[in-house]
Amino acid sequence: EIVLTQSPGTLSLSPGERATLSCRAGQRVSSDYLAWYQQKPGQPPRLVIYGTSSRATGIPDRFSGSGSGTDFTLTISRLEPEDFAVYFCQQYGSSPLFAFGPGTKVEIK
């Protein structure tokens, strides 16, 4: 069973700063099928990045994804007030077919 870990657990930053979130898999992620989701309180997750580095529809270009194999990163170049949320990474392809990381909370410093 593939396990995803995310770091840090909480990231305290100010608007305008750069956020770097990490996701590490216990084994290689199939064909780099790694996605990131943003979740705000009381809302469902929103797809941000898929296929490691492709932005989902409507996602601004301050969001970018990178990585390969077992180590992946979500970068938000300049934080806007609406970016403060919890971010989950998710892999597709290993068992279980969809596995999620525990999340990183990006909070206002």
Partner 1 sequence: QVQLQESGPGLVKPSETLSLTCVVSGFSINQGYYWAWIRQPPGGGLEWFGSIYHSGGTYHNPSLMSRVSISVDTSKNQFSLKLSSVTAADTAVYYCARQASGGIAGLDYWGQGVLVTVSS
Distance separating alpha carbons of residues 51 and 91, to the nearest angstrom? 9
Please give the distance of CA 53 from its chain centroid, rounded to a whole number: 11
Q: Are 70 and 28 in contact (CB under 8 A)?
A: yes
Asked if residue 92 binds partner 1 (CB under 8 A), the reply is yes
For the CB of residue 7, give the shortest distance to partner 1 in the complex, in Å. Answer: 14
Q: Determine, following the binding rule CB under 8 A, whether residue 73 of this chain makes contact with partner 1.
A: no
100 sits near partner 1 (criterion: CB under 8 A)? yes
Residues that bind partner 1 (CB under 8 A): 1, 31, 33, 35, 37, 43-47, 50-51, 54, 56-57, 88, 90, 92-93, 95-103
